[in-house]
Amino acid sequence: MHDVRALLDPANDAVRKLARRGYTLDVEAIEALQARRNAAIRTGDELRAESKRVAGEVGRSAKAGGDPAALEELKERARLLKEQVREAELEHDAAAQELRDLMLAVPNLPLDDLPDGGEDDAVELRRWGTPQDFDFEPLDHVDLGERTGIFDFARATKLSGPRFVVSKGLGARLERALAGFLLDLHTGENGYTEFSVPYLVQPTALVGTGQLPKFEEDLFKTGTGTRDLYLIPTAEVPLTNLHADEVLEPAQLPLAYTAWTPCFRSEAGSYGRDTRGLIRVHQFAKVELVRFCPAEESAAQLEELVGHAEKALQELGLAYRVVVLAAGDTGFSAQKTYDIEVWLPGQGKYREISSCSDFGTFQARRANIRTKDAGGKRTFVATLNGSGLPIGRTLAAVLEQGQRADGSIVLPEKLVPYAGFAAITPDGKPA
């Protein structure tokens, strides 16, 4: 969430920056609510001062034994003033809430170095690895998984409906192996601290990271009768909110956290897209990376973060490319995002496997996560997050890039110690 004064300061050029997203900032509405709130504050202060003065007169008059009629008139005046103070407080609270609701819907300001445009205007920065030139028609991960018996989409649909998957045998084993490999890499080489976090969170946590109130339709909500909880769409939510309403000491920063969790997304608005396979499902597992740092260091931290996600793909030998998203396609809370897209031979294209985002102080303001600057003044930290990596999409790439003409699937060398086998035979046996 933005500081209202900073958002309205012409020097920050918020109107132009948000227009690059396709968002029109309603400056007049913000200014009107701010004026209404400030007027209620002034009125309340004036009424409280007058109430205090009249209360003093009541006390002095009663002590002096003054005219009873005059005393009753003063008491009535004091009562009316208290009612007016309460009305001013209610008006302030209403204006402040309306202003907060409006501000919660304003996205982050995209950085000026982002390309213009939308979903089709991302700019490729680099590639790693060479997509295989198969001498046969490569299958996609669905056909590979069903042929070898490691995926069962039909029974998943019987259990939960479309966009779910059951992994079994070597498939379930590979998922566990990937999670172990990724967690060991990020904690052992990249300096992340591993957490095990709740999969259900309160609404305030989702407000903190920006999913609420704007994206409620993308979430799965559960009610117990006494309170509402949401299933996490990503471990970013609990990991970031671990420090909500806290002041982090400068010496602690940067902080680097990781967690392997299930993620739950309704994928509202995406029906008809990627309905086949593991690319867009309602439940999937992911190893998430979250970082906290001083605001002035966020650009450098983003480069480090995307490097950690790239390292995971490089260790697995999976060909990929890195793109920077255009301003109009950058996520609500982010000021800059790199997407890493892995090569999927079965589709003949690169597909997003990790988004690494710099949020600046946007999330920290919403979650009230602060630190101290060099002068000891409290200021908001910057937060960053990225996938490091999603298990399902990574497994899809492992299967598709590892397939061979004889129908077998060869695993990445680094994954073999975790899986306990080096390949899957055409009939679904470990080899």
The catalytically annotated residue of 36, 100, 280, 321 is 280
Between CA 263 and CA 284 the distance in angstroms is: 5
- Binding residue per annotation — 167? no
Residue 171 sits at φ, ψ, to 5 deg, of -65, -50
Amino acid at the residue 130: T
- Binding residue per annotation — 259? no
Between CA 292 and CA 253 the distance in angstroms is: 7
Listing DSSP states for 163-198 in one string gives: S--EE-THHHHHHHHHHHHHHHHHHHTS-PEEE---
Longest CA–CA span in the chain (Å) reads: 108
The catalytically annotated residue of 355, 357, 365, 366 is 355
Between CA 400 and CA 346 the distance in angstroms is: 6
Between CA 421 and CA 429 the distance in angstroms is: 10
- Binding residue per annotation — 51? no
Between CA 53 and CA 273 the distance in angstroms is: 68
- Could you give the C-alpha distances from 213 to 14, 25, 103, in angstroms and in order? 21, 17, 11
- Binding residue per annotation — 266? yes
Any catalytic annotation for residue 393?
Answer: yes
**Size (the chain), residues:** 431
- Binding residue per annotation — 61? no
Between CA 255 and CA 355 the distance in angstroms is: 19
- Binding residue per annotation — 400? no
**Cis before residue 254, ω within 30 degrees of 0?**
yes
Output 4-9 pairs: Cβ under 8 A, ≥24 positions apart: 4/30, 4/34, 4/99, 4/103, 7/103, 7/106, 8/34
- Binding residue per annotation — 265? yes
Residue 41 in contact with residue 92, Cβ under 8 Å? yes
Between CA 59 and CA 78 the distance in angstroms is: 11
Alpha helix positions (H), 65-164: 68-104, 141-148, 153-160
- Binding residue per annotation — 352? yes
List the one residue out of 110, 127, 111, 116 whose CA is nearest residue 323: 127
The catalytically annotated residue of 20, 291, 365, 393 is 393
Any catalytic annotation for residue 355?
Answer: yes
- Binding residue per annotation — 298? no
Between CA 179 and CA 418 the distance in angstroms is: 9
The catalytically annotated residue of 20, 21, 163, 265 is 265
Any catalytic annotation for residue 408?
Answer: no
- Binding residue per annotation — 354? yes
The catalytically annotated residue of 304, 352, 404, 408 is 352
- Binding residue per annotation — 146? no
Between CA 397 and CA 4 the distance in angstroms is: 45
Known binding residues:
234-236, 265-267, 281, 288, 352-355, 387
Question: Which residues carry out catalysis?
Answer: 265, 280, 352, 355, 393
Known binding residues for ATP:
265-267, 281, 352-355
Known binding residues for L-serine:
234-236, 288, 387
